[in-house]
Structure 1
Amino acid sequence: MFTSPAWVPSLPFADLCFLEEPPNSITIEEFILSGKYGRRPAATSRSPFTCGLTGKSFTATQVPQRINFLARGLAQALNITPNKGLSLDKVIAVFSPNTINYIPLVLAIHRIGGIVTPASASQSPSELEYQLKKTGAVAIFTCPQLLDTAKKAAEQCGITDDKIFIMDFSGAKSTTSHISLEKLISIGKDLPDLEALNWPKGEGARRAAFISMSSGTSGLPKACVISHYNVISNVLATATYETGARSHFKFDTQVTLGLLPMSHIYGLVTVALCAAYQGDELIVLPKFTIDSFLDAIQRFKIRRLYVAPPIIIQMLRNRDKCLKHDLSSVANIHTGGAPLYAETAEQLLKMYPDWHLGQGYAHLLGMTETATLICTTSEHDIDLGSSGSLLPGIRAKVIDSDGKEVFTYETPGELLVQSPSIIPGYLGNGRADEETFVWDDDGRWIKTGDEVVIRKGPSGNEHVVVVDRIKELIKVKGFQVPPAELEAHLLTHVAVQDCAVIPVPDEAAGERPKAFVVKKASAAGAVDDEELARQISLHVQNHKAAHKWLKGGIEFVNEVPKSPSGKILRRLLVDLERKRRARGRARL
């Protein structure tokens, strides 16, 4: 059994908020806004959320007021009474890039007893439709750029136009008749306060805060039911873990980059909610461009950067542009969403030798089912190549290929984790629950599907090192791409008899999907392979988000390797591709 390092308080949350256990009878909204649960006050010179493009922000006093007014206006618009009805009847989708109103909206929805289903801004209408139907969403918040997509999906789900609201977004003005978030706040100012939720003990663990889509360890996207208690536990664990670095480097609050999508559990919990709880100022950017990224760091004196490895690669490719900007405020750069290779890390540290560079692990750095972090790298305990140490309150064990527990360092096996932040399960998918969660005499564990080793770092603390993935998800710029989803879609093409999708390495994105396709006999000779590959690629592009496109290529084969039971043996194809690339003869 492996636990958190010695410098973490022995009682997981004692030093931070004088609690032995996370509170389990409150919403995330109360936890973040109330001073009763250890929240660190923001510095008087900082705002909780600031737009990295325009500089627009609201003060630490204004944000709670806006959340309160927004909750009132939203409750009236949707005819919701906080203490009446089921939470599952109050699911609201947030389909938008990052804005300074994203977290206030989330907290306002929680204030009325609702559930948030965050939807990636990259989704196509059919993908959004799938999520809306799966979660039972009754309303959508979106932005002007995504309104057409939202309306197409909503129409297929029976969500009427009056249940589609517009989030104000820098650089885009809405001319539609849809009610805006600011209008709801204005309406809410003149309405009476909402009744308190007053949940009994344990209700925070029973009530869903988010229903987020995840591929789990395999298969098609699943709806993860994430409780308020899950998120509160992880925020407390992360904040407690970070007390070591804040004490070591003698700072209380900091300015943090809010670039990673808040529709993703990593950007939502580890970046945004943790920043709000710790009194940090979050500089919000809706998307990455090298210019806006560098300008925001220089303008707002950002200390901590949360990024994905492709952003580091862009910094290396734009070295001259980076060095022309004043990035002296940066002390910590934290990577997530995909593995950071040692060569890339070393190149960045040559440019900025004073930066503390580390990465975190939560099912390859962002597991929805663990809401979110399992372990992470502390600024004062960096072991390059590892994903840091376990957070407080989290236990882990490693199981070898024979099903036996590993007790020695540097011995590979699958990582199993136990934590109060692990979700209760998937929405309406008992089979997925059985595949993902296991029980033993020590309780309930989640199988991460990843092969790791535990090693002792230079400090003597135990560090988790990801060796390989047992599961077969593809990670493109931090987004999960389930092969089964693409395979199912490819089989709808008239020329495809059978197929398999695997990851291939990509310098900019980490990985890209590649398809091995068996043609139908009727397709033979109709067009040449180059044209057919183009048609199949367009078939994916017309229905799937850009990170799911087959940019790793399409290869036509005579058969797809399968087990006697019919399971696709993707690992054989992965091994074949690796050998080809090692020989320098990779086929496009």
Structure 2
Amino acid sequence: MPFHPPSWVPQLPFDPPDSCTVADFMFDENYGRYPLGYSKPPFTCGISGKEYSTLEVKERVDFLSRGLAKELGWSPNVGTEWDKVIGVFSVNTLDTLPLAWATHRLGGIQTPANAAYSAAELEFQLKNSSAKCLFTCLPLLKTALQAASGAGISKDRIYILEVPKEATGGQGTPAGFKTVDDFIKEGAGLPRLEALNWEDGDGARKAAFLCYSSGTSGLPKGVMISHRNVIANTLQMATYDKPDRDKLREPGSQVDYIETTLGLLPFSHIYGLVVICHAGIYVGDGICVLPKFEMKQFLDAVERFKVSMLYLVPPIIIAMTKNKAVLDKYDLSHVRAIFTGAAPLGKETAEDLQRIFPKWAIRQAYGLTETCTVVCSTSPHDVWYGSSGSLLPGIECKIVTTEGVEVEGYDQPGELCVKSPSVVLGYLNNDKANKETFVDGFMHTGDEAVIRKSPKGHEHVFIVDRIKELIKVKGHQVAPAELEAHLLTHPAVNDCAVIPVPDDKAGEIPKAFVVKSPNVSLEESDRMLARQIVKHVEKHKARYKWITGGVEFIDVIPKSPSGKILRRFLRDKEVAARKKKGARL
């Protein structure tokens, strides 16, 4: 049976427009965005404090588009979007999104690359996307030059996004490289560009972003995200949050509530790109921009700029719960809520954080690059730990078993399939993946989920785990994420991951990789500690969920920048170790 948003969720105020660019939607008050002149500055540097007002950003986008047009020989109505692909390989900066919106003004595409990429990984994306130029930052310039050379992009087509000098050791832009500011200064003296000549439906057909999936199997896939996809999810989130934001208004005031949010997560990732940088700015919020996660720098910025909404991922939340003494040194009283996604947040970790900050609303969301981000989200008035919240307006989903049967009730697991105006155009040049993923109007997520009714009577989505990563123990399905969340409650466990290992009797059994807490005594043997951890699971979980595959201590759990545990690296490590021992694979 199909599932829909709960009755309390407002309907979209209007259909997401399909004949305008993302840039127009973000800067035209006729599309319902918060008044430009009263919005907070969209981006504030969390290190230097530098910022531009919304009206200044709009002007910078205009001038930047003119400068790019002259430099690259592009015209808004000449060629297709695939002739105008701009690569971006950078940490977060004040101009990352203005660059994207300027590209859209020219009818082009931005393809953002993960700042943690190696030269080979970046080269693959530049080639696969057919990027015509590359914007990078000084800390990543060496890698960018190597990758661009391999992809056939000349040095004079590499440009610089400026970051605070504190992040570059005081180094300035090397001679011979143009910066975004250079383009803006040049563009200010150039004539205004002609308007894009778009017909109805062009916004739904043309790609605005080409983001690359995390590549859980094989090479990363280019995900084609249309202008309407971004607009739809922005509108869905703004509509979903409106009832709760209305409650935050000053008594008797007709002025909408706006706040400063945290822009720490990578803007190259769909979570940072859409949830933080589009949905937040559309409703008038400002973003405190940080280039990377460092606990002290993060807490300094939250305190200094009075950040009230923290967009986080589970690894940062886990680090916070394990460092209460550090948190106590900062005034975080203005924080009202956190919003977490990109990877599951365990119920136990949420409870740990709530004990430290009882007044914070802990919101969890679920989404994918292929759904242009959020499918469901916790509302502050119906927080249910472990849940990913309720469906956003305009979204329909169904749960389908591995046998292909559609689930007809609650608490029945199966693959989550999603229908939404935010579901993307598909994968670039990958017919096989498109046929498997986008079927009859639904996006097949590859995630196992169940729908449950909360104590308040609303339907919530619970994500169990990736279907391909579930451990099959004597026919029982065991979710690694569930065991990982429980293991983190043990005081000796700083971080962990669980994978399947083969077993003659059970087929598969769970094995845990554990990073020890700094508090663990050097005198305590690994064997004794492993036994304590195993007993911790045995005390609270069903027998088939016990860690019978053993505990291995390692220095770090491999993760993507968005916080997903890269279990495939641990599986490869385990296979290599078993081969060496001659054990069953």
TM-score norm. by structure 1 comes to 0.80
Which residue number in structure 1 is paired with residue 509 of structure 2?
A: none
Deviation at 1:61? 1.7
**Residues 129-168 of structure 1 mapped to structure 2, 5 A cutoff:** 129-168=123-162
1:148 deviation in Å?
1.1
**Where does 1:212-251 land on structure 2 (aligned, <5 Å)?**
212-215=211-214, 218-250=217-249
| Match of residue 320 from structure 1 | 325
Bigger drift between 294-303 and 506-515 goes to 506-515
1:577 is aligned to none
Name the CA distance, whole Å, in 1 between partners of 2:71 and 2:496.
43
* Residue 467 of structure 1: how far off its partner (Å): 1.7
SS at match of 1:36: helix
Q: How many angstroms apart in 2 are the aligned matches of 1:177 and 1:421?
A: 41
Sort the Cα spacing of 1:70 and 1:513 in 2 relative to 1 into closer, same or farther, 3 A.
farther
Aligned to 1:556: 577
Alignment map for 1:343-492 (pairs within 5 Å): 343-362=348-367, 367-439=368-440, 444-472=441-469
> Partners of 1:551 and 1:397 in 2: how far apart?
32
Give the match for residue 310 of structure 1. Answer: 315
How far residue 324 of structure 1 moved from its aligned partner, in angstroms, is 1.6
* Whole-angstrom distance in 1 between the partners of 2:30 and 2:497: 44
* Change in 2 beyond 3 A, CA 1:45/1:226: closer
Question: What secondary structure, in the 3-state scheme, does the structure 2 residue paired with 1:103 have?
Answer: helix
- Equivalent AA in structure 2 for residue 29 of structure 1: A
CA–CA distance in 2 between the matches of 1:510 and 1:213? 26
Distance 1:26 1:329, change over 3 A: same
CA–CA separation in structure 1 for the residues paired with 2:203 and 2:278: 17
Structure 2 CA distance, aligned partners of 1:2 and 1:550? 35
- Residue 400 and residue 546 in structure 1: after superposition, are their counterparts in 2 closer, same or farther (change >3 A)? closer
How is 1:105-124 mapped onto 2 (pairs within 5 angstroms)? Answer: 105-124=99-118
* Structure 1 letter corresponding to 2:578: V
Q: 1:1-52 deviations in whole A, cap 9, x for unaligned? A: 111121122xx321xxxx2x11000100000011110001267483111011
Aligned equivalent of 2:4? 3
Question: What is the distance in 1 between the residues matched to 2:308 and 2:497?
Answer: 29
Partners of 2:42 and 2:270 in 1: CA distance: 19
Pairing partner for 2:288 from 278, 283, 288: 283
In structure 2, distance between residues paired with 1:558 and 1:68: 59
Specify every segment of 5 or more residues in structure 2 that has no aligned partner in the other structure, as ranges.
Answer: 250-255, 472-485, 503-554
Structure-2 change in CA distance of 1:402 and 1:45 (3 Å): closer
Q: Distance in 2 between matches of 1:22 and 1:432?
A: 27
Displacement of 1:256 in angstroms is: 0.6
Q: Does structure 2 retain, via aligned residues, the 8 Å contact 1:218–1:472?
A: no
Cα pair distance change 1:514/1:65, threshold 3 Å: farther
Aligned partner of residue 347 in structure 1, secondary structure: helix
Helix, strand or coil for the counterpart of 1:190?
A: coil
CA separation of 1:218 and 1:407: change in aligned 2, threshold 3 A: farther
Q: Match of 1:370, as an amino acid?
A: T
Q: Distance in 2 between matches of 1:117 and 1:328?
A: 38
- Determine if contact 1:514/1:550 at 8 Å carries over to the other structure: no
After superposition, the Cα gap between the structure-2 partners of 1:279 and 1:560, relative to the gap in structure 1 and judged at 3 Å, is farther
Contact 2:134 2:159 in 1 (8 A): yes
Q: Percent identity?
A: 48
Task: Tell me how far apart the structure 2 counterparts of residues 472 and 445 of structure 1 sit (CA, whole Å).
Answer: 22
The 3 A distance-change label for structure 1 pair 450 and 560 is: farther
Work out whether residues 360 and 377 of structure 1, in 8 Å CA contact, stay in contact via their aligned partners in 2.
yes
Q: Which of 95, 106, 110 is 1:101 aligned to?
A: 95
Structure 1 residue 424: deviation in Å?
Answer: 1.5
**Displacement, 1:465?**
0.6
Structure 2 partner of 1:52: 46
AA aligned opposite 1:224: V
| 8 A contact 1:436–1:446 mirrored in 2 | yes
Contact 1:310–1:508, Cα closer than 8 Å, also in 2? no
- TM-score (normalizing by structure 2): 0.80
Measured in 1, the distance between the counterparts of 2:320 and 2:377 equals: 23
Distance (whole Å) between structure 1 residues aligned to residue 39 and residue 28 of structure 2: 20
Aligned amino acid, residue 293 of structure 2: F
Report how far residue 183 of structure 1 moved.
0.4
Cα offset for 1:459?
A: 2.0
Q: Report the secondary structure of 2:310's partner residue.
A: strand
SS at match of 1:374: strand
Aligned partner of residue 360 in structure 1, secondary structure = strand
Amino acid in the other structure paired with 1:229? R
What is the CA deviation profile of residues 348-387 of structure 1, one whole-angstrom value per residue up to 9, with x for unaligned ones? 111100000020011xxxx111101111111122111100
How far apart, in 2, do the equivalents of 1:466 and 1:307 lie?
Answer: 18
What's the secondary structure of 2:231's corresponding residue? helix
Give a deviation string over 1:253-299, Cα, whole Å, max 9, x none: 11110111000011100111111111101111110111111111111
Alpha-carbon offset, residue 239 of structure 1: 0.7
Q: CA deviation at 1:460?
A: 1.2
Matching residue of 1:533: none
Please tell me whether the aligned partners of residues 248 and 257 of structure 2 are also in contact (alpha carbons under 8 angstroms): no
Secondary structure of 1:379's counterpart equals coil
> In terms of mean alpha carbon deviation, does 65-74 or 242-251 score higher?
242-251
Q: Which amino acid aligns with 1:445?
A: F
Amino acid at match of 1:132: L
8 A contact 1:71–1:112 mirrored in 2: yes
Tell me the residue number matched to 1:331: 336
| 1:335 Cα deviation from its structure 2 partner | 1.0
Contact 1:513 1:551 in 2 (8 A): yes
Change in Cα spacing, 1:216 to 1:392, as seen in structure 2 (3 Å) is farther
Q: Which amino acid aligns with 1:186?
A: K
CA gap 1:142/1:243 in 2 versus in 1, 3 angstroms: same
**Change in CA separation of 1:276 and 1:546 when aligned onto 2, cut-off 3 Å:** closer
The one-character-per-residue Cα deviations of 1:143-162 (angstroms, maximum 9, x if unpaired) are 01111111111111111111
Distance 2:108 2:90 in 1: 18
The 1:510–1:381 alpha-carbon spacing in structure 2 relative to 1, beyond 3 Å, is farther
The alpha carbon displacement at 1:513 in A equals 8.8
Note the residue ranges of structure 1 that are not aligned, 5 or more in a row. Answer: 475-503, 517-536, 562-571, 574-588
Contact 1:409 / 1:455 at 8 angstroms: preserved in 2? Answer: yes
Work out whether residues 449 and 469 of structure 1, in 8 Å CA contact, stay in contact via their aligned partners in 2.
yes
Contact 2:36 2:55 in 1 (8 A): no
User: For the residues of structure 2 that align with 1:225 and 1:560, how far apart are their CA atoms?
Assistant: 44
Q: Distance in 2 between matches of 1:462 and 1:426?
A: 31
**Is the contact between residue 39 and residue 285 of structure 2 (CA under 8 Å) also seen in structure 1?**
no
1:435-460 Cα offsets, whole Å, 9 max, x none, are 11112xxxx11111111110111221
SS in 1 for 2:142: helix
Deviation at 1:461, TM superposition (A): 1.0
Partner amino acid, structure 1, of 2:295: I
Task: Quote the Cα distance in structure 2 between the aligned partners of 1:127 and 1:505.
Answer: 33
Deviation at 1:316, TM superposition (A): 1.8
1:210 is matched with 209
- CA apart distance, 1:558: 4.2
Change (3 A) 1:59 1:123: same
**Change over 3 Å in CA distance of 1:317–1:206 after alignment to 2:** same
Tell me: CA distance 1:438–1:74, structure 2 relative to 1, closer, same or farther (3 Å).
Answer: same
Which residue of 1 is the match for residue 272 of structure 2?
267
Cα distance in 2 for residues equivalent to 1:141 and 1:165: 5
TM-superposed deviation, 1:114 = 0.8
